[in-house]
Structure 1
Amino acid sequence: MKLKEIAEISSGYSFRSKIKHDPAGETKVIQMSDMDKYEGILVDKLQRLSNFDPRSSRYFLEAGDVIMISKGYNIDAFVIPKGLGRVVTVNSFLVMKPNQNKIYPDYLAWFLNSKRTQYFFRQMAAGTDIPNLSIKALESLDVYLPSMNDQYLISDIERLKKREVYLHQKITDKKEQLVDELLQKKFDKLKSK
């Protein structure tokens, strides 16, 4: 089944000027720097805007929407979590609003991030210096749809894998910090002799 048959696809909002952060702003903006392959959307980093009016409600994202970086070499997909409130994304993202009766959003993100699909994207991306994936290329993607139960199981295993990688990295960072502190103490002790 083609992706366009199970999801509405559009681009993010095209800001005409630099985003001016207002900590009290009611609208959050997702940019490329707000994404982490293992942690997902870094909610605490999101810029906020006041009095934002995109002139169309289609730019506002909802829980379960899937966003995908469309420019560059890392074409990663992420699911919008619950509880974000008013949120939009910049036009460096493609936005998919999946038919959740046919496809589980987390499964769609996993499928888009899979090695085979990423290979397809690299072949379809246009652009010389910075590859750019078009809506048309994304619409033409063939998506395999297992049962909703199997989609959920695949998504859950992927979530656990990402969590494990994240925790391993945190442990590695803590070990590195501890060893650095011990070495610095040893060095300071030797230096004071």
Structure 2
Amino acid sequence: MAATPLNQIAEILPGYPFRGALKAQADGNAWAVQVRHVSSREWVSMDSAARVVGGEALDRVQLGGRRRPDYLQPGDVLFMARGPRNGAVLIEEVPEATVCTPHFFLIRLKPGSDDIVDPGFLVWQLNHGEGRAAIAAGRQGSLMPSVPKTELAAIRLHLPPLARQRHLVALFRGADREAELMQALIDNRHREVTAIGRAMLDTVRNG
């Protein structure tokens, strides 16, 4: 099966061009997704309180200009292009009027491409195996490494039938959920042991 360049099936859009340091404004007209909002998970949802699951609360910001920004939509993919941690996350749910900063590229499937690629599978392929290797090979810079748009656009994808893509995504989500539950059990056990240890020491101290 011939490989498909990413830019053949998707638009690659820049993040919103904030000038200078991003300033949070309580009465702002939009929300902004920054690097600190995105955890290591490969899909994120933002509820009505504008929080990224596993991350921090989004910031209200004021957007200017007449051009309508590229607001995030469910099914969009954010690619973290700047910094040492490069990878993709799938936006599953998002408040209205949400943008991303220039640290990201916004990957949005072209009309008709959803018939040949599942966005969750796109995220998986960018983050694993050959996709991850291609991203590493295209990274530039040392102090502030980044992945240029041209390198990202040229990444070649292998697209099995849509049903198989969705099956793999379901399996991967299941494994991710199991890992999350296991980590929660480990964290709970550590807290339990710590509490028992403190109680034991308090008993010794108090004689």
Q: TM-score, normalised by structure 1?
A: 0.91
Superposition deviation, residue 24 in structure 1: 5.6
In the other structure, the counterpart of 1:188 is 202
State which of 82, 89, 101 in structure 1 corresponds to 2:115: 101
Superposition deviation, residue 118 in structure 1: 1.1
1:34-73 equivalences in 2 (<5 Å): 34-38=37-41, 40-41=43-44, 43=46, 44=51, 45-53=56-64, 55-73=66-84
The one-letter code sitting in structure 2 at the alignment partner of 1:38 is: R
In the other structure, the counterpart of 1:144 is 158
State which of 79, 95, 119 in structure 1 corresponds to 2:133: 119
CA separation in 1, counterparts of 2:145 and 2:62? 33
State which of 167, 177, 180 in structure 2 corresponds to 1:163: 177
Superposition deviation, residue 76 in structure 1: 1.7
CA separation in 2, counterparts of 1:176 and 1:55? 53
Let me know the Cα RMSD of the aligned residues. Answer: 1.9
- Consecutive unaligned residues of structure 2, counting only runs of 5 or more, are none
CA separation in 1, counterparts of 2:61 and 2:87? 28
CA separation in 1, counterparts of 2:199 and 2:8? 62
Q: Is the 8 A contact 1:28 1:48 kept in 2?
A: yes
1:80 aligns with 2:94: no
Distance 1:92 1:50, change over 3 A: closer
Distance 1:89 1:114, change over 3 A: same
CA separation in 2, counterparts of 1:86 and 1:142? 31
Deviations 1:46-103 (CA, angstroms, capped at 9, x unpaired): 3332542364335211110100111122212111113432211000111100132221
Distance 1:19 1:67, change over 3 A: same
In the other structure, the counterpart of 2:21 is 18
Q: Is the 8 A contact 1:40 1:78 kept in 2?
A: yes
Superposition deviation, residue 28 in structure 1: 1.7
Distance 1:73 1:192, change over 3 A: same
Deviates more, 1:55-64 or 1:6-15: 55-64
In the other structure, the counterpart of 1:130 is 144
Q: Is the 8 A contact 1:38 1:166 kept in 2?
A: no
The one-letter code sitting in structure 1 at the alignment partner of 2:17 is: S
Aligned length: 193
CA separation in 1, counterparts of 2:65 and 2:156? 32
Q: Is the 8 A contact 1:11 1:94 kept in 2?
A: yes
Distance 1:123 1:54, change over 3 A: farther
Q: Is the 8 A contact 1:61 1:88 kept in 2?
A: yes
- Consecutive unaligned residues of structure 1, counting only runs of 5 or more, are none
1:4 aligns with 2:15: no
Distance 1:154 1:13, change over 3 A: same
